[in-house]
Chains A and B, each alone.
Chain A
């Protein structure tokens, strides 16, 4: 039983027929071919699947694709405008905020959302804001440095 779903993903209109039970993360990865958003668990804890839905950070494994009908979704692939990296991406590169890279897209999207709400967070506020994202490689310290780096450079856009 397929249902037509229309979204804007990274500023492009998409249209597919999907089964109601298909998760948004799988829709993005399989139907849209955007594999940058990752799956790390099935209980909504790890945050590797974080994307922006209508500007807010959402764990895309906790949403069905049909629930996102009509929404504006931004994935990691949509973050660099015209090939220029987003300040948060630059921060991660500059500060060694990633090792294996698997949690990174979700971590970056959550950080973008965090900075959109609070442009000058303290280290504690960054750590708290990223409580929905697990990383097993870095020990988080360089991730906080990365977000700090982006905050200091000024992040006007989400």
Chain B
């Protein structure tokens, strides 16, 4: 069904943070470091202060002691962490590091004043290559830490890994670089802050995925206690993890509103977004697979260097550890060992970007399956199937320490092959090769962790809260602690409520995003909205129906147990012919003249849902490509996606999530990379330099799905927000490598740009005369 969110958005009358105008509001603009690493000798703000319309010009010396340190919520043992002040104090550590802030009457004047601030920098050597950063004698990202290593971790799981490697017929090695990516939501970040001096209450409207986590963490920075802090996520123009964070700017703008006694707005430019909003991925992995000649995989070793950037944002050090959780993918691999070294460099921080550590795992295991298959001359599909658990082996405990809830990997693969006309696809590829073309097919069979998550495994609680209230009028208010920003829960939750309560969907209103309304929540990330948030709503519905029966029984003068609820009315078969609708019960409950003894007025329920496990969606993607020898351009000639996200509530929205994820995978596979030069200068600071997929870059897809409900929640829903970003990149990469394989190309790192592919082709093909 169509989304209820859409009318206001397609008419242009939704309110995003930059659309807000408060009386007396001033505008902030930030001066940022042009150096990757430098000492600040002097900041001269005198010229900036003389510009008409400028109200304040402030530096770290003015604000840092009042704003606290930017927090990291990841609990990593023995983490060496630099103190992350809101503005730079005596040094800058990455290009884009915030150094000073101007507050002015209008944003143009604020920018003028930023340019009039004179900063005297002493550049220092920048640490840019994370492997070089580990070598003795390397410059230090944070000289005060004495090391570039944030933490090291070795995790072993399953059986005896060394025995596995001793027993192997062969050990196959491979190195992969998971390139740094920039999330680039089309709406940059922005904050409006307003402080009520009398009530001593601060309100922040911010383009965020996490108003509730902000409300938990900002009191520690600003000293405003939770009951006096209201965070509102208005319409948010895309997140993808980039807005799953506590940013220095959010605390800074809150502080400015308190300090200056007027509302303050700050909106970042695209360049600021590219430089100082979190980046994704950036891992270098050396992998070793212990195999038997028949293709049986005995063990997997991974040595990873993760580039964290200069600071720990909210989840920065945790992200590479998530890779280790799904390293074995869909496969029964009996032993694993993961050595992880996380390194500080003079760059923006990495953190959760759609998939958050799991795309890296799927990419590496799916590339390795192809590499191993090619080395052993075994069919790539056969080697995967050989290691799938069968549906009856679920719940399935992996060597990485997780228990997968349900799955049918063979089923998804078979469906994908069928939709792809697999035999014809292979025949076409072989015929194309016979005709001298570079054609390839890639497959990705993936599984991923969703529906974050059991609180024992989450840094700040993985439960979700909801409230359902039947109003006196019979309309239904639904309040959720998840914070959708495009995922459509205003519609999906209305569907769930309308369906289960038997009320018209037009009578259901879903509220979210404002901590004054949804006062508990754990927000939206990790594909948790419907699986976790929707379940909290279902729990509320069940409680309301139960109370409805008690009230109806009183009206029908019978026992609670004799009341039956169906199609939105309450009946007592055999006792009465009356069918009592919700409106009558709501009137009873609120006007309260005739309540049964011991029953409170009201007809609302709230619930916290604590999931006992993550969920594990899965699927198979198949991609066919054709490479132009003259340009290196990769054309996707066929794309089939079969995804299993459990039960489906709104198939159109699910398809939208998968398509969006696939598009980001196409970006990662073929065109995107965050580039810093050897001096730490950010070269991909605008859309002119950072390529995002456009409409013409997207192939026509064939979509399918299988439905394997999860036992983890009563909706049977697994989550689908990140599936496309996780499943598609390896399918595309494997297809290109398959196309290049006849030329002897075994490895080529992403992105597979035309130039890179062309060079790979032409370094192996002798020029014809």
Residue interface bits B212-242, CB-to-A below 8 A is 1, else 0: 0000000000000000000000011111100
Q: Are B6 and A134 in contact (CB under 8 A)?
A: no
Residues in A with CB closer than 8 Å to B240 are 136
Does any Cβ of B come within 8 Å of A85's Cβ?
yes
Residue of B whose beta carbon sits closest to that of A83: B11
- The 8 Å CB contact of B11, one of A19, A76, A123, A127, is A76
CB distance from A72 to the nearest CB of B (A): 18
Does any Cβ of A come within 8 Å of B373's Cβ?
no
Residue interface bits B687-699, CB-to-A below 8 A is 1, else 0: 1100011111010
Known: A93-B3, A96-B653, A138-B660. A101 touches B9 (CB 8 A): yes
Q: How many positions in chain B have a CB within 8 Å of any CB in the partner chain?
A: 58
Q: Pick from A1-9, A37-45, A63-71 the stretch touching chain B.
A: A37-45
Tally of contacts, chain A with chain B, CB under 8 A: 181
Residues in B with CB closer than 8 Å to A21 are 108
Does any Cβ of A come within 8 Å of B357's Cβ?
no
Residue interface bits A105-149, CB-to-B below 8 A is 1, else 0: 100100000000000000110111011011111111111100000
CB distance from A137 to the nearest CB of B (A): 5
Known: A41-B687, A42-B269, A100-B185. A131 touches B656 (CB 8 A): no
Q: Are B270 and A48 in contact (CB under 8 A)?
A: no
Residue of A whose beta carbon sits closest to that of B20: A35
Q: Are B186 and A102 in contact (CB under 8 A)?
A: yes
Residues in A with CB closer than 8 Å to B352 are none
CB distance from A139 to the nearest CB of B (A): 3
Does any Cβ of B come within 8 Å of A32's Cβ?
no
Residues in A with CB closer than 8 Å to B238 are 99-100, 102, 136-137
Residues in A with CB closer than 8 Å to B9 are 98, 101, 104
Does any Cβ of B come within 8 Å of A17's Cβ?
no
Number of chain A interface residues as a range = 35 or more
Residues in B with CB closer than 8 Å to A80 are 11
Does any Cβ of A come within 8 Å of B664's Cβ?
yes
Residues in B with CB closer than 8 Å to A127 are 694-696, 698
Residue of B whose beta carbon sits closest to that of A100: B486
Q: Are A101 and B698 in contact (CB under 8 A)?
A: no
Q: Are B659 and A142 in contact (CB under 8 A)?
A: yes
Q: Are B486 and A137 in contact (CB under 8 A)?
A: yes
Q: Are B10 and A98 in contact (CB under 8 A)?
A: yes
Q: Are B187 and A139 in contact (CB under 8 A)?
A: no
Residues in A with CB closer than 8 Å to B187 are 38, 40, 100, 102
Which residues 701-750 of B sit at the A interface, judged by CB distance below 8 A? 701, 724
Q: Given the complex of chains A and B, what is the CA–CA distance between A69 and B695 in angstroms?
A: 33
Does any Cβ of A come within 8 Å of B460's Cβ?
no
Q: Are B688 and A45 in contact (CB under 8 A)?
A: yes
Q: Are B269 and A100 in contact (CB under 8 A)?
A: no
Does any Cβ of B come within 8 Å of A58's Cβ?
no
Which residues 634-683 of B sit at the A interface, judged by CB distance below 8 A? 652-653, 655-656, 659-664
CB distance from B726 to the nearest CB of A (A): 14
Which residues 26-72 of A sit at the B interface, judged by CB distance below 8 A? 29, 34-43, 45-46, 48
Residue of A whose beta carbon sits closest to that of B491: A96
For A98, A124, A126, A136, which residue has the most chain B Cβ atoms within 10 angstroms? A136
Q: Given the complex of chains A and B, what is the CA–CA distance between A134 and B656 in angstroms?
A: 16
Q: Given the complex of chains A and B, what is the CA–CA distance between A103 and B5 in angstroms?
A: 15
Residue of A whose beta carbon sits closest to that of B273: A41
Q: Are A41 and B660 in contact (CB under 8 A)?
A: no
Residues in A with CB closer than 8 Å to B692 are 134, 136
- The 8 Å CB contact of A40, one of B11, B188, B695, is B188
Q: Are B13 and A77 in contact (CB under 8 A)?
A: yes
Q: Are B270 and A143 in contact (CB under 8 A)?
A: no
Residues in B with CB closer than 8 Å to A89 are 10-11
Q: Given the complex of chains A and B, what is the CA–CA distance between A19 and B488 in angstroms?
A: 41
- The 8 Å CB contact of A94, one of B2, B188, B235, B694, is B2
CB distance from B682 to the nearest CB of A (A): 15
Known: A131-B695, A136-B692, A137-B486. A98 touches B6 (CB 8 A): yes
Q: Are B656 and A138 in contact (CB under 8 A)?
A: yes
Q: Are B660 and A99 in contact (CB under 8 A)?
A: yes
Q: Given the complex of chains A and B, what is the CA–CA distance between A134 and B486 in angstroms?
A: 16
Residue interface bits B189-231, CB-to-A below 8 A is 1, else 0: 0000000000000000000000000000000000000000000
Residues in B with CB closer than 8 Å to A96 are 2-3, 652-653, 655-656
Residues in A with CB closer than 8 Å to B664 are 136, 139
Q: Given the complex of chains A and B, what is the CA–CA distance between A21 and B111 in angstroms?
A: 13
Does any Cβ of A come within 8 Å of B12's Cβ?
yes
Q: Are A99 and B687 in contact (CB under 8 A)?
A: no
Q: Given the complex of chains A and B, what is the CA–CA distance between A42 and B270 in angstroms?
A: 7
Q: Are B12 and A76 in contact (CB under 8 A)?
A: yes
Q: Are B686 and A41 in contact (CB under 8 A)?
A: yes
Which residues 22-71 of B sit at the A interface, judged by CB distance below 8 A? none
Q: Given the complex of chains A and B, what is the CA–CA distance between A123 and B19 in angstroms?
A: 33
Residue interface bits B276-313, CB-to-A below 8 A is 1, else 0: 00000000000000000000000000000000000000
Q: Are B5 and A35 in contact (CB under 8 A)?
A: no
- The 8 Å CB contact of B13, one of A36, A41, A99, is A36
Q: Are A102 and B659 in contact (CB under 8 A)?
A: no
Q: Are B186 and A85 in contact (CB under 8 A)?
A: no
- The 8 Å CB contact of B6, one of A46, A93, A130, A141, is A93
Q: Given the complex of chains A and B, what is the CA–CA distance between A89 and B688 in angstroms?
A: 29
Q: Given the complex of chains A and B, what is the CA–CA distance between A38 and B10 in angstroms?
A: 12
Residue of B whose beta carbon sits closest to that of A105: B12
Q: Given the complex of chains A and B, what is the CA–CA distance between A33 and B267 in angstroms?
A: 17
CB distance from B10 to the nearest CB of A (A): 5
Residue of B whose beta carbon sits closest to that of A78: B12
- The 8 Å CB contact of B12, one of A36, A39, A138, is A36
Residue of A whose beta carbon sits closest to that of B272: A42
CB distance from A115 to the nearest CB of B (A): 15
Q: Given the complex of chains A and B, what is the CA–CA distance between A75 and B653 in angstroms?
A: 27
CB distance from B112 to the nearest CB of A (A): 10
Tell me the B residues contacting A by CB distance below 8 Å: 2-3, 5-7, 9-16, 18-19, 108, 183-188, 235-240, 267, 269-271, 485-488, 652-653, 655-656, 659-664, 686-688, 692-696, 698, 700-701, 724
10 extra interface residue pairs, beta carbon distance < 8 Å, beyond A41-B270, A99-B660: A21-B108, A36-B11, A38-B18, A39-B18, A40-B187, A41-B686, A75-B12, A101-B6, A104-B9, A130-B694
**A-B residue pairs, 8 tightest by C-beta:** A36-B12, A102-B237, A101-B9, A99-B486, A100-B486, A76-B12, A139-B663, A139-B659
Q: Mind listing 11 A-B residue pairs with CB under 8 Å?
A: A36-B13, A38-B18, A38-B187, A38-B237, A39-B267, A41-B687, A46-B270, A100-B237, A124-B696, A137-B656, A139-B698
